[in-house]
Structure 1
Amino acid sequence: MKDLLFLAHRIPYPPNKGDKIRSFNMLKHLSTQFRVHLGCFVDDPRDWQYQKDVAAYCESLCLLPLHPGRARVKSLTGLLGSQPLTLPYYRNRRMQQWVNTTLARGVDRALVFSAAMTQYLPANLQQLHTVIDFCDVDSDKWRQYATGHRFPMNWIYAREARTLLAFERRQAAASDAAVFVTEQEARLFRELAPESAARVHAIDNGVDTRYFSPEQVYPNPYPATGTRLVFVGAMDYWANVDAVVWFANQVFPAVRAAQADAEFVIVGARPTPEVTRLARLDGVVVTGAVPDVRPYLAHANLAVAPLRIARGVQNKVLEAMAMGCPVVATPQALDGLRDCPQLNWRVAEQADDLSNLCLAVLKGEDRDGQGARGRDCVLSHYSWSEHMARLIGLLNERVQNEPA
């Protein structure tokens, strides 16, 4: 086996949110082909308990604490120059020392998960075969954030979009391959960074369809009979917060008025105060962290994905599809999903249209079989093994092309 440096901005375990799901499946598959040297941060103290779970896949492991409050303060030093605030947020002297020591042992290839972690690689990448998984075009995410906020945050977000894009372009140009989670994201980056278009690739997310399976029996987590609309996601992520606040205030009241036993159940760890306050509304339930999201999907009548700002494929949508649960969503939440002609998507952007779609599904009880067809789509197009084989190919590409 060859050695691989794998850098990630967050510990890839437990796989309970978008970036961790992707990075964990990378780690799991890469460990079958490489001796993995993993360096990452732990930004949630509860995740330290998973150190052994992660170490089982690694030849060596560097886990360092990251305190979000302190990191946000440190990131402000970026305002003194032209660098994006994301870089000082993740800058750490101990991580740099570990990377330098690891590379000095002869490691000749690296996979970097998120642009910010590329700051730890040597400036001259000629001797290091490097693949960067940007996941999404983060700079464009900040551009979207800027349009939804007032001064001074809109200025800060717009600055971050501009400076981060410049950094993303430099790092992509110095790499051997730049990976994005959907072809739409890859196409956007090719437009924004035409000098790197030839090395930009799309590698989709996947779903563990044996784990997310409607064929298993799950205990009912809901306390009484009723009609449940469920949203699953990390509830400290701004796009998710915006989605559930908007849905609870603008969409769900019409559903509740027409269907008195309807409940909007928000499932996800670390709910912000803005999310927690939603529980005061009639029919809205905020669970906080749960040990297993599958029962909430298995016993829900409908999964909703009312995102208004979204980047890449939404794991929450794929997991609901894998569970055979009907989905109602905004166009943004479905951006990047593979085309499944057999799937009759329920998609709307305006509040009234979305509430009408929810009611139509609830009253029809998914008679046209969207739930089953959603699972078929996942089985056909979202295999982790297939997608990770492509990533491994990119990591081996230069080596395979070198003379023996």
Structure 2
Amino acid sequence: MRRLLFIAPSLPSPTFGGGAIRMYHLVRFLAQRFDLDLIAPQTPGAEGSEAQLRAWCREVEIVPQTVRPAWRKRSHLGPYEKDPALAEAILHRLRDRKYGAMQIEKPAMVPYLPTDLSIPLVLDVWAYGLSGAIRALTQERGPLVRARNAFRLARFGLFDAFCWPSTACVLVVSEQDRLRCLRTRPGRQVLVVPNGVDSSAVTPPPSGEAPQGVILFTGDLGFAPNIEAAELLALHLLPMVLASHPDAELRLVGRHPHPRVQRLAGPRVRVIANVPDMRPYLREATVFAAPHFTGAGTRTKILEAMAAGLPVVTTSIGLQGIEAEAGREVILADDLPALGEALCGLLTDPWMRADLGRSARNLIEARYDWDRCLAPLEGLYRTWLKEQAIAC
């Protein structure tokens, strides 16, 4: 029986960052409907998901990563690196198994595939690489860094021109991304598969238990856009809040806090690292703040906060990929004074917090639960795998 092959750039995990969470639910959804094989590199810190992945999938192959000398990593100029051990494992699997279709996560995995691939290929682009490279080119400091990024940007353009013709379908996270893709690649099949959240696992706290004065920010605290957001919160926005709410506290909760984030810790700022479960911190928060002015991540943290019934204050960039109504389901502000004013207003007004949190939760249930987000994939793959589809 031919199967569906899922190739991941890291081990899918329900707790190891937005991309890993998206892949985890993709694997769950697809394995419940089709015979699915998963191949991924070994990922330190994400091992806890392996047993569940093996329970879902027909086969799971986890490939130890090749150790690369530091000078090779520093000298790498291409947009995508290629691990020799993973490349060999993928080619071996394609040679020895019969697959009806394949899904790969991010353009970084395309170089691992043979040029004569004869089965439908689905490319999932959950954070568009070219737009991130453009932002890096304009924001990074120093002539060497900018020169490297300019070179990588040119390589991205050439490589994406190679990527697109090899795909049967491209998955993107928003309608805006779909239209942008169609402008550059007219006639291609582009499917919107938004990022989501497990709304049965992340729920609002019982009525009457909302704490007072806790501003929460979560995420990978070693990721550059999150470092910037944490610094904006601690160094600029929190002082505005403390002027009228002297008991307020900022909590920065997430993986791998960068030294710049660690240095923010103080009497009114707590840095909490590498927690196994984010839900207790969501329940203990009053307001969720995500002051993003750069970045192309998955926005999982914002969806989780909305699912938890928290009022969310963010920027237009922070809300990219999420169709939420400003003023009803989130508070949108695109400069520091407006962000500070929004935080102060929410800390002052419990009724506004409750209304925003309730509307945000309703939006998640209606549009952003994972199974609802992933539903278009069933029809896509059933077209190719209908003779070997299995009952749910």
1:384 equivalenced with 2:370 (yes/no): yes
1:206 equivalenced with 2:196 (yes/no): yes
Please give the TM-score of this superposition, normalised by the length of structure 1.
Answer: 0.88
Is 1:182–1:312's contact at 8 Å kept on the other side of the alignment? no
Q: Displacement, 1:75?
A: 4.4
The Cα offsets for residues 248-295 of structure 1, whole Å up to 9 and x where unpaired, read as: 112111111221111110010110111100104x41110011122112
2:240 aligns with one of 250, 254, 261: 254
Structure 1 window deviating more from structure 2 (251-260 vs 336-345): it is 336-345
Please give the TM-score of this superposition, normalised by the length of structure 2.
Answer: 0.90
Supply the AA of the counterpart residue of 1:213. T
Aligned position for 1:142: 133
CA distance in 1, matches of 2:240, 2:382: 54
What secondary structure, in the 3-state scheme, does the structure 2 residue paired with 1:390 have? helix
Q: 1:350-361, aligned counterparts within 5 Å?
A: 350-361=335-346
What secondary structure, in the 3-state scheme, does the structure 2 residue paired with 1:229 have? strand
Is 1:227–1:262's contact at 8 Å kept on the other side of the alignment? yes
CA distance in 2, matches of 1:115, 1:219: 44
Aligned position for 1:15: 15
Aligned position for 1:265: 251
Between the two proteins, the alignment pairs up a number of residues equal to 384
CA distance in 2, matches of 1:283, 1:340: 31
CA distance in 1, matches of 2:48, 2:313: 36
The Cα offsets for residues 94-131 of structure 1, whole Å up to 9 and x where unpaired, read as: 22222222222212310001111121211023x21110
RMSD of aligned Cα (Å): 2.5
Aligned position for 1:62: 61
CA distance in 2, matches of 1:390, 1:73: 43
Q: Displacement, 1:396?
A: 3.3
CA distance in 2, matches of 1:140, 1:73: 27
1:317 equivalenced with 2:309 (yes/no): no
CA distance in 1, matches of 2:332, 2:203: 24
Is 1:8–1:113's contact at 8 Å kept on the other side of the alignment? yes
CA distance in 2, matches of 1:289, 1:341: 31
Q: Displacement, 1:17?
A: 1.6
Aligned position for 1:95: 86
1:277 aligns with one of 258, 263, 266: 263
Aligned position for 2:390: none
CA distance in 1, matches of 2:84, 2:94: 16
What secondary structure, in the 3-state scheme, does the structure 2 residue paired with 1:311 have? coil
Supply the AA of the counterpart residue of 1:385. D
Q: 1:124-135, aligned counterparts within 5 Å?
A: 124-125=116-117, 127-135=118-126
Q: 1:109-128, aligned counterparts within 5 Å?
A: 109-125=101-117, 127-128=118-119
Structure 1 window deviating more from structure 2 (259-268 vs 156-165): it is 156-165
Aligned position for 1:6: 6
Is 1:137–1:189's contact at 8 Å kept on the other side of the alignment? no
Q: Displacement, 1:360?
A: 0.4
Q: Displacement, 1:341?
A: 7.7
CA distance in 1, matches of 2:154, 2:255: 31
For structure 1, the residue ranges without an aligned partner over 5 or more in a row are none
1:168 equivalenced with 2:149 (yes/no): no
What secondary structure, in the 3-state scheme, does the structure 2 residue paired with 1:336 have? coil
Supply the AA of the counterpart residue of 1:169. A
Aligned position for 1:52: 51
CA distance in 2, matches of 1:302, 1:390: 33
CA distance in 1, matches of 2:223, 2:69: 17
For structure 2, the residue ranges without an aligned partner over 5 or more in a row are 388-392
Q: Displacement, 1:229?
A: 0.1
Q: Displacement, 1:78?
A: 4.4
